[in-house]
Amino acid sequence: MSKFFKYFLAVVVGSMVSALFFILGLFMFLGILASSSSSEVKVHDNSLLLLELNGPITERESSDPLTVIFSELSGQAASTGLNQILSSIKKAKNDDRIKGIYIESGMPIAGYATIDEIRNALLDFRTSGKFVHSFSSTYTQSGYYLASAADKIYMNPAGMLDFQGLSGTYTFFKGTLEKLGLEIQIFKHGEFKSAVEPFMLDKMSDASRLQTEVYLNSIWQHILSRVASSRGLSVEALDSTASMGPVMMSDEQLLTSGLIDGLKYKDEVIDELKTLTNTEVENDLNAVDISQYSTVYVPDKTKKGIEKNKIAVIYAEGGIDDSSTEGIISDELSRTIREARRDSSIKAIVLRINSPGGSALGSEIIWREVKLAQETKPLVVSMGDYAASGGYYIACAADSIVAHPSTLTGSIGVFGIIPNTQDLLKKIGMTTDRVKTNQYSDFPAIDRPFTSDEKDLMQAYIERFYGVFLSRCAEGRNTSSEAIDLVGEGRVWSGENAISINLVDKLGGIDDALAIAAGMANLENYRVVELPELLTPMEIIMQSLSGGAAAKFADIFLGEEYKLLKTINGLKSAHPVQARLPYDINLN
């Protein structure tokens, strides 16, 4: 009886604790909804637009209240949408109440193409005669690259600045897999298709090293030229400074290098901002952040009324058909493109791609809808940080392709990975046996090695799909499969490299893609609609209750480590044939 009461008490206490957490979360959720539906944001005269970008930057702003709740609980910065940032900077340029932009973005989590989009918007903002000032205690290399668009860069006297060149580190699992008794059976086409190398080698192949050196140097030269131009330095002097390791430089060396304008404490920077905004010393600065300012309506003096003609920006972000609620789901993206094609008020489409690829089948499904849309109305692709392998597959049918110099693209190649767990099972005392009616009834089996016939079948399938990939690219780029094959073989290119080999048409950002689309559709005036439409907060809550909350919670609390966990977990149910970039290409 005592045990019964013990367990009963434990259940009661556990239920009470669970109820408490539920009520706490409910109140937080209601508070967030209440704040989001509060009165209109008031922008005062002589205000600053505040850019705090020390967290993840995604393609679109999120309407997910759970993201905000989890971020608050974990203390991690919530993600900010690139579209939200760009539209706010553009509005602020023409808003007489905004006198300048103040950046605190020393540690953004974003690729260099995303940073380029924001830098370009800031440089355009400065043409209005308004100022941009940056301050941070610590600048990562990408954070400094963003800050270099400012006319003044300040750092805390005890701070650190990382500007020392690019590197890429790859992790190899071959030795670990051998110890575990796991054989990874690999099928691929493409000398440079290095996504499979971690499973078969213990270091980079010569081909992989070559392609990495080429695109790293291309992106680094682009960064040097942009920073040198903004800071009034020569590329040679800037590169020499980077080789000296600014992170370890003395204050005097750092100032002499020209990387920053001064070492100041935050209160000193605030005093300078008060002078620039004509704010009395005893008063607080009038500042509005991105989340607030994005809801502010600023009339566009060049337009009258609501434009009937529309250009749709369709977002394709993440892996293609990865086994999660995130990323690109081929059927859903295809439906969005199809609906835009059939909508007569949409005169052109810009497909914004930020994807390393994924399922080969999913890529083909999306390609079909892109092709049908391109045959109906102008379709332009705007590439983000990545648009490679499957990401390039879904782009190649476009009328025009726009990429940033630092975009990673190409990687035209295919691979398949099938594990053989036979030795691992033996190690733990397990065996399998089977009965089958036909030669390939159990194909593909993971508890035994492939037979030679099965290997031939799999490789033949890979070769056929690579041929299809080449033909799709050749048709879209108005060239031959042989010409695409010369720059294919799985090789990754920077956007700047890709121009000279006819994989990309123009260097630029999403605004450039919109301008091209408008020109093709003969539109002088239009409005932009973003697709797919975002879910309402309640719809997101219901979706999260069906399984998405766990992934979101893990993403917030595990951060960058969650990407590795998601990749490994995704292999369990991934399509056996993949058109994907090498895993974990992260540039410092």
Catalytic residue list contains 193: yes
DSSP sequence for 527-557: EEEEESPPPPHHHHHHHIIIIIHHHHHHHHH
**Spatial distance between the Cα atoms of 460 and 443, rounded to a whole number of angstroms:** 15
Nearest alpha-carbon partner for 197 in 588, 586, 580: 580
3-state DSSP assignment of residue 278: coil
Residue 300 one-letter amino acid: D
Catalytic residue among 193, 347, 371, 552: 193
In which residue are the tokens 């204050």 written? 251
Query: Is residue 540 within 8 Å of residue 65, measured between CB atoms?
Result: yes
Q: Could you tell me the two tokens for 129?
A: 């005669």
Catalytic residue list contains 389: yes
For residue 562, list its beta bridge partners: none
**CA 216 from centroid of its chain's CA atoms:** 18
Nearest alpha-carbon partner for 415 in 189, 172, 173: 189
**Spatial distance between the Cα atoms of 141 and 403, rounded to a whole number of angstroms:** 21
Cis omega before residue 378 (within 30°)?
Answer: no
- Burial string for 386-400 (b: 16+ CB within 10 Å, else e) reads bbbbbbbbbbbbbbb
Nearest alpha-carbon partner for 310 in 381, 398, 377, 370: 377
Residues 6+ apart with CB under 8 A from 247: 160, 161, 162, 163, 164
Residues 6+ apart with CB under 8 A from 10: none
Could you count the other beta carbons within 10 Å of the beta carbon of residue 230? 19
Query: Is residue 461 within 8 Å of residue 414, measured between CB atoms?
Result: no
Q: Could you tell me the two tokens for 152?
A: 């003044």
**Spatial distance between the Cα atoms of 408 and 405, rounded to a whole number of angstroms:** 9
**Spatial distance between the Cα atoms of 313 and 518, rounded to a whole number of angstroms:** 12
Phi then psi dihedrals of residue 400, to 5 deg: -150, 145
Could you count the other beta carbons within 10 Å of the beta carbon of residue 29? 16
Q: Could you tell me the two tokens for 369?
A: 């809808």
DSSP sequence for 499-521: HHTTS-SEE--HHHHHHHHHHHT
In which residue are the tokens 């680094």 written? 220
Catalytic residue among 382, 389, 411, 494: 389
Residues 6+ apart with CB under 8 A from 244: 253
Any idea of the CA torsion for 299, 304, 307, 311, to the nearest 10 degrees? -60
DSSP sequence for 181-194: T-EEEEEEE-TT-G
**Residues recognised as catalytic:** 193, 389
